[in-house]
């Protein structure tokens, strides 16, 4: 199903390592910000620009913990997809890992923006 070359490719391993690092960084940033604050009115978990004054939706800690789960799911799925597609096309496997990194960076930006508003 997967080739030994996948685990010997330095570029692929570095991309997987960067994905894991970004996921751990996102997790630690969220947990550190959640630990510093008292959630009296809840946390902002959504922003809908079409709602006008009520654009910000508050919620509990679970809404922000979902960002951590999202990061974990992104790393698992993108790594699995790149392992399976590596035998067919190496460039596509690298592109899948790069898109996973992009998703993790966007997730960090959004979660940071929501936590700064608190």
Query: 20: left (phi > 0), else alpha (psi -120 to 50), else beta?
Result: alpha
Total number of domains constituting the chain: 1
**16 within some domain:** yes
**91 within some domain:** yes
**13 within some domain:** yes
**38 within some domain:** no
Q: Are 58 and 115 in contact (CB under 8 A)?
A: no
CB-hemisphere CA count at 13 Å for 51? 8
* Residue 73 confidence (pLDDT): 97
pLDDT tens digits, residue range 38-91?
A: 556 677 767 777 776 667 777 778 878 889 999 999 999 999 999 999 999 999
b or e along 22-58 (b: 16 or more beta carbons within 10 Å of the residue's beta carbon)? bbeebbebbeebbeeeeeeeebbbeeeeeeeeeeeee
**1 within some domain:** no
pLDDT tens digits, residue range 4-17?
A: 888 899 999 999 99
**86 within some domain:** yes
Domain with 74, as residue range(s), is 6-33+43-116
**Whole-model pTM above 0.85?**
no
**95 within some domain:** yes
**99 within some domain:** yes
């Amino acid at each position: 199903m997967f080739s030994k070359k996948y685990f010997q490719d330095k570029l692929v391993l570095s991309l997987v390592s960067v994905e894991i690092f970004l996921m751990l960084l996102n997790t630690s940033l969220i947990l550190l910000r959640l630990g510093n604050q008292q959630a009296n009115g809840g946390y902002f978990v959504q922003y809908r620009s079409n709602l006008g004054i009520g654009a910000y939706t508050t919620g509990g800690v679970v809404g922000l913990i979902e960002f951590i789960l999202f990061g974990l799911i992104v790393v698992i799925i993108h790594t699995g997809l790149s392992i399976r597609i590596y035998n067919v096309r190496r460039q596509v496997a690298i592109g899948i890992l790069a898109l996973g990194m992009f998703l993790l960076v966007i997730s960090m930006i959004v979660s940071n923006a929501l936590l700064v508003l608190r």
